[in-house]
Structures are given as structure tokens and as C-alpha cells.
Structure 1
Amino acid sequence: MKQIEPGFIHDLSNLDRLRAGISEDKQGSLREAATQFESIFTQMLFKSMREANSAFESDLMSSNNSKFYQQMHDEQISSQLSTTGSLGLADMIVKQLGGEPQDLSQHQPTTDLSPQQPSQPFSIRPINADSVALPTKMKSQPSAPLSAPPLLEKVAPVAAAETLPTKQLQPTSFASAEAFVSHMKPYAQQAARALGTDPALLIAQAALETGWGKKVISNTLGSSNNLFNIKADPRWQGQKVATKTLEFHDGIAVQEQATFRSYDSYQHSFDDFVNFLQHNPRYSKALTHSNQPQQFIREIHQAGYATDPNYSNKVLAVMKKVQSLL
């Protein structure tokens, strides 16, 4: 198939010739289509760079007419670059689609090391995970001519060597009370040691506040991870989330809008709950009874932690179920 000349970028006859030549030479048509794709990709690069530089434009050089001709110039340059294989994208596409790439030796740079030494093409050593991950143990390997294997084969060993452990995602809901208790147990045990109380009490309080983890306060950005529904007062400098809550005034339930603290994790929620009790003077009396779970939660309730008149009784009722699941 006769190669399509770059010509004028907006000359649609080039595309007509490309369609007409598919039946004659599929291999050549694949090459030309890949070249066209590289041209489009290069245009996108130019466009992104122009847009990034728009903040520094001067009024003198940023008229609509200048932008119009500048765009035409960029498109034409993109077409010219794609025909020379400057990016190598077309060769990679042809190879990935089962075609035969062009001889890459014509695109290899040459070096003139001395007046007496003729120019020779650069050679590239095969990449392996050991040589990338541990530079001090790189082995001497003979140079090999540059070939054109698929891109993924080139980068896969490097990616494998640099893979880092992924942070485990915590669940946003729990299928059962057993699942909730099992997941919260290590956090509660750590917090209970800091407070000197029973971890079952802390899990029960979190279960009551969140409906066994099914009603954790959240917004469009995700879960707040707030297991104890601690509100965000003016002293709180972290993330916040606003929602409607049920408060009791003189024994009457009233729905109000309130702002609550937001945490990165359940662990952070337990840690802040411990800090909230230990650094708030109103709970100093309650902390003296931390080794007595029933008295501890009643003192927390009386200190104003919750407005529900039956709050402490509800927590103790849930605690019995938690103890049966531990």
C-alpha cells in the first residue's frame, strides 16, 4: 500500500485513501492507521501544554485569531512527527495488534565517540527485576540489539519489583453483630487497657451508637468512621461531617442538625474516644469507676455524654449480647 503523505492535516482525502487501501494491503493499512493515531495523540499533548500555559498568556498574543492559527500549526506539526515515528507509539500499536513493526534501527540515535571511531547504534540491555530493585547487584550482561517486544513485557519486571503492600480497606458495614464484634475487638481491647475498663462495654457503646456498624454517620465523601458519635465542638481541628440527629430535651425527642467528628479509621475513632474522656474534666469522676463497667457508663451518661434518659441502660443491655459473642 502506498504510504499516505502527511500533506495538509485537514485534507480528508488521506482518510479516503486509507479506507480504500484496506482490502489491498491490510498490513500497510494497519501501519497507516497507527500513524494517524499517533498523530492524534501528539495533538492532544500539544493541546494540554497550550492549556497549561494559558495562565501566562499576554493580551497582545492571545487573540482568537492567533489561537486559531496556532492550533492549525500544532496539528500540522503533529502529523509531520507521526510520519517520522518520533514517539514510537505507532510501532508499538502495530506490534500489539499483530503487525510487523518497522525497522527500528533507522530511529536509533548514534554516537560519535572519537574522530577515528565510526558511529554505532546504541544497544539496550534486557531489564530484569533483580537489576532494577537492587542496583548494587547488577550483573554484567552482553549488549543486545534493540528489538520491539510488547510494552507490557518490558515494564512488568520493574513493576513487580516496586510493588508495595496495599493498605487493607476496612468494612463500611457489617452483615451481623458477630462480624461487628469480631472486627472491633482488637481496637476495643487497646482502648479498654488505656481506660482500665471492660472492652465489651466499649464495643456495646459503639454498637448502640451505630446500629452494629450499619448506621455510621457518612456523607458524599464516605464514612466518618465515628463509632461513638462524638460531636465536633470548636476545639476539634479535624475533619467534620454534618447530619441530622435525635436529641432529648426534657424527655422529648427532637431532631436537630449537628456536626460530628470524622476519622480516617475505626482505630482513630477508638483512640479519640479515649482522649475525649481522659482530657475532658466533666468525665474525671467517671474515670475513677472505669474498673466497674456498669458504674462507669452511668457516670459517663450523667456527665452529659448523651441526652437519651435511657442511654446507660441501653448500653448495658447491648453489652450482655456482646459478652456472649466474645
Structure 2
Amino acid sequence: MARKRKRRKKWTNFLFKRGHIRWLNLVVLILIIALAGYSVDQLHQLRERQQIVHRQANAKKLFIKQIAPESQTMMKEHNVLASITMAQAILESDWGSSTLAAKYYNLFGVKSSSTTNSQVLNTKEYENGSWIVIHGRFQVYSSWSASIQAHTMLMVNGTTDDQAKYANVIKATNYTDAAKALQEAGYATDPNYASKLIKVIQTYHLNKYDQVN
């Protein structure tokens, strides 16, 4: 029993004599400072991410607010659901941030065969099971409202080779049917176009803009 006490005493003396306790305190202090610095950095990064998310949310709300009135006006006049027009504008223009939308006011990726009042830009097309980048000539508009009006008239008048191309979009009484009609008519090459439109409408409750007094 006496030897065990002696060993414990020697181990205790080893820790506390000759400045060992000072080194231990220093190591602990360094660890605390390092962890504190790490925590502050993490908090700073978290605040930055929250600010980015907040700015993006505000930008989306503003975009919806900007395109809603004209979309509703076109719905009243031509029966193209506002939710569909708005969801298409969101998808096609990436919330109005694409070069085509921000600089040339083309919200829907409408192409042009004319060399006047148009611009050549890169775009993605879905062909043979994969996405490819191509050069396309796109229509230039004077405003987002003008782009929405032209898009609505495309739904109403169809194309030169098929005037009834989007007839089922106009006939649709709900956004689900309208989205499917757009895809069936071949509006976009994306095979998931209808489901993406529906998801955008549901996520941002765009169907409320279909209810006009």
C-alpha cells in the first residue's frame, strides 16, 4: 500500500513541479482561443449565408410583384393563366437575372428569325437525351410587359405552321393541365418542363394570381 501512495505522489509531483502546470494552462488557453476564433468565423459565415438567402428571397418577391400585374391583365383578356405565365418567366429567365431578360427584356427565351431587333446568345437545348449549348437568335423587347404580351399572343395565335398549337393551354382551367399542355405542344425541349412549372407555382403559391376579382 505504501508503494502505491508513493507512485501517486511521484506522478502528482511530475505534473505540478518544474512548471508543468504552466505548460498545461498555456495549452488549454491556446485551445480555448483557437476554438473561440473558429466559432466567431463560423458565426460570421452563417450570417453571410443568411444575408444572401434574405437578399435572394427579396429579389424573388420583387420579381413576382413586377410581372404579376401584366400577367393578370393578359389572363383577363386572353385566358392564359397568370400562374403559368409567371412560372414560365421565372424558369426561362432565372427570376429575371439572365442576360436575355435583364438586358433585352426577353423573359421567355423567344427566338427570332429576323436580324433586326434581335440578339445572338448562347442557350441550352435538350437533344438526344442530353443538354447542349447552341447559338440562338432571340427577340429583343422594350420591357418585361412587352415580353409578357408577346408571349400571350403566341399562346393565342400559335405558330405560322400551327395556329392551334397552344389551344389546350388557353382551354385549361387549372395550372396543372396548362403546364402539361405546354409540354405536349412542344414549347420547351426539357422533358421535365411541366413538372418544373408546377413545382414553381406550388412553391411560391402563384395560383393565387389566377383569382382575379
TM-score by length of 1: 0.42
Superposition pairs for residues 100-115 of structure 1, below 5 Å? none
Partner of 1:179: 62
Greater per-residue helix proportion: 2
1:290 to 153, 160, 172: 172
Closer/same/farther in 2, CA of residues 272 and 313 from structure 1, 3 Å limit: same
Question: CA offset at residue 188 of structure 1?
Answer: 0.9
3-state SS, counterpart of residue 204 of structure 2: helix
Partner of 2:125: 247
CA deviation map 1:225-254 (0-9, x unaligned):
0111111135xx861011100001122111
Q: Is the CA contact 2:92–2:108 (under 8 Å) kept in the aligned structure 1?
A: yes
Partner of 1:272: 150
CA deviation map 1:164-194 (0-9, x unaligned):
xxxxxxxxx9952111111111111112223
> Structure 2 CA distance, aligned partners of 1:251 and 1:266?
32
Q: Is the CA contact 1:194–1:274 (under 8 Å) kept in the aligned structure 2?
A: no
Superposition pairs for residues 1-326 of structure 1, below 5 Å? 176-217=59-100, 223-233=103-113, 239-280=117-158, 281-323=163-205
> Structure 1 CA distance, aligned partners of 2:167 and 2:157?
12
Counterpart amino acid of 1:194?
A: E
Question: CA offset at residue 287 of structure 1?
Answer: 3.7
3-state SS, counterpart of residue 72 of structure 2: helix
Question: CA offset at residue 261 of structure 1?
Answer: 0.6
Counterpart amino acid of 2:145?
A: Q
Question: CA offset at residue 267 of structure 1?
Answer: 1.0
3-state SS, counterpart of residue 227 of structure 1: coil
> Structure 1 CA distance, aligned partners of 2:184 and 2:117?
28
TM-score by length of 2: 0.63
3-state SS, counterpart of residue 113 of structure 2: coil
Structure exhibiting the larger radius of gyration computed from Cα positions: 1
Q: Is the CA contact 2:156–2:167 (under 8 Å) kept in the aligned structure 1?
A: no
Q: Is the CA contact 2:80–2:155 (under 8 Å) kept in the aligned structure 1?
A: no
Question: CA offset at residue 266 of structure 1?
Answer: 0.8
Q: Is the CA contact 1:200–1:322 (under 8 Å) kept in the aligned structure 2?
A: no
Partner of 1:15: none
Q: Is the CA contact 2:166–2:182 (under 8 Å) kept in the aligned structure 1?
A: no
Could you tell me which runs of 5 or more consecutive residues in structure 1 were left unpaired when the two chains were aligned: 1-172
Q: Is the CA contact 1:204–1:322 (under 8 Å) kept in the aligned structure 2?
A: no
- The 4+ residue runs of structure 1 with deviation greater than 3 A are none
Counterpart amino acid of 2:122?
A: K
Question: CA offset at residue 282 of structure 1?
Answer: 4.8
CA deviation map 1:286-311 (0-9, x unaligned):
24533232111211222121101111
> Structure 2 CA distance, aligned partners of 1:238 and 1:181?
30
> Structure 1 CA distance, aligned partners of 2:170 and 2:63?
29
3-state SS, counterpart of residue 291 of structure 1: coil
Indicate the RMSD between aligned Cα atoms, in angstroms: 2.5
Q: Is the CA contact 2:169–2:179 (under 8 Å) kept in the aligned structure 1?
A: no
> Structure 2 CA distance, aligned partners of 1:206 and 1:284?
17
Q: Is the CA contact 2:75–2:82 (under 8 Å) kept in the aligned structure 1?
A: yes
Percent of residue pairs bearing the same amino acid type = 21
> Structure 2 CA distance, aligned partners of 1:180 and 1:261?
21
Q: Is the CA contact 1:251–1:309 (under 8 Å) kept in the aligned structure 2?
A: no
Counterpart amino acid of 2:189?
A: T
Q: Is the CA contact 1:174–1:180 (under 8 Å) kept in the aligned structure 2?
A: no
